[in-house]
Amino acid sequence: MKAIVLTGYGDVDCLELRDVPEPHPAAGELKVRVAAASINPVDWKIRRGDMKSVLALKLPAMTGRDVSGEVIEVGPGVTAFKVGDRVMGLVNGGYAEQVVAPVDAWARLPSSLDLKDAAALPLVALTGTQLLEEGVNPSRGDIVLVTGALGGVGRAAVHAAKLRGVKVWAGVRAKQKADAARLGVEGVVAMDDPADLDRLPTLDAIADTVGGGVTQRLLARVKPGGTIGSVVGEPPGAKEKGLKVHAMFAHPDSKRLTQLGEDAAKGELVIPIGKRMPLAEAREGQKLAERGGAGKVLLLP
């Protein structure tokens, strides 16, 4: 089968389309014919070598974290899925024509959810949801700022927060404020405008998808004993200010991913898709996604 292989750390020239052996499912696994895979920031961070300290790869290696497609084989002991099921999943090696992953990684798709477009969901939807529900874990009525609220992870965090009855503030760039207002949040603040940040109320928590100096400046807006949930590492100085910090990575959750698929099918969770490209154009796809602002980029085998 065809797959994109990372041959070394560096620029997009390290991504090559190769023939690789077909995978076979072991006990408790599904084999899926990939309809689409999506590109995420973690993909180019891995490619550049930014994550070698926490995620060392034995190169050459296949990359790509989320896919959608059709089940073509089930491993021994699998009863929750059958051949022909339409699924999406949080996997490893998703830039390929076929992929194998444990049952817990997969969720069955609602009939109204487009099979290819569903590939945009797994990683960002689970990351944002788990950031809010596990990293921040706010109570109804809490005031929570979601930074990077118009990104895929941010949108999912906003969605999860609204379901909990949280008062959500969306942190975005000044030029994005009009778009962020359509998220239906309590308020919108321009994180690149210090004067606008003064409008923020005292926060119970921050769900951070951005990191950097802006997040550090926002720590002063969080009440003593408040919470910082982050998917971009622990903000320096947060614990010293008496804040609770939960830095986290997404993990597979078949049940929650199924629910998120249903929300997407109903239009309650929207992850914009900017471009659909052939798998063979993964280099151009990563360059486009890395520039940002285009929505999710999908690779179609």
What's the confidence (pLDDT) of residue 216? 86
Task: Find tokens 């969080």 and name the residue.
Answer: 222
Q: What is the pLDDT of residue 292?
A: 82
Q: Is the CB of residue 204 less than 8 Å from the CB of residue 223?
A: yes
Identify whether the C-beta of residue 35 lies closer than 8 Å to the C-beta of residue 298.
no
Looking at residue 203, its pLDDT comes to 98
List the domains of the chain with CATH numbers: 2-121+271-300 (3.90.180.10), 125-247 (3.40.50.720)
Q: What is the pLDDT of residue 212?
A: 81
Q: Digits of tens for pLDDT over the chain (301 positions)?
A: 999 999 999 999 999 999 999 999 999 999 999 999 999 999 999 999 998 877 778 999 999 999 999 999 999 999 999 999 999 999 999 999 999 999 999 999 999 999 999 999 999 999 999 999 999 999 999 999 999 999 999 999 999 999 999 999 999 999 999 999 999 999 999 999 999 999 999 999 999 999 888 888 899 999 999 999 999 989 999 999 999 999 999 999 999 999 999 999 999 999 999 999 999 999 999 999 999 876 999 999 9
pLDDT at 266: 97
Mind listing the pLDDT tens digit for each residue in 228-255?
Answer: 999 998 999 999 999 999 999 999 999 9
How confident is the model at residue 223, as a pLDDT? 96
pLDDT at 165: 97
pTM for this predicted structure: 0.96
- pLDDT on residue 56: 79
Task: Report pLDDT for 297.
Answer: 97
Output the 3-class SS for the chain.
CEEEEECCCCCHHHEEEEECCCCCCCCCEEEEEEEEEECCHHHHHHHHCCCCCCCCCCCCEECCCEEEEEEEEECCCCCCCCCCCEEEEECCCCCECEEEEEHHHEEECCCCCCCCHHHHCHHHHHHHHHHHHHHHCCCCCCEEEEECCCCHHHHHHHHHHHHCCCEEEEEECHHHHHHHHCCCCCEEEECCCHHHHCCCCCEEEEEECCCHHHHHHHHHHEEEEEEEEECCCCCCCCHHHCCEEEECCCCCCHHHHHHHHHHHHCCCCCCCEEEEEEHHHHHHHHHHHHHCCCCEEEEEC
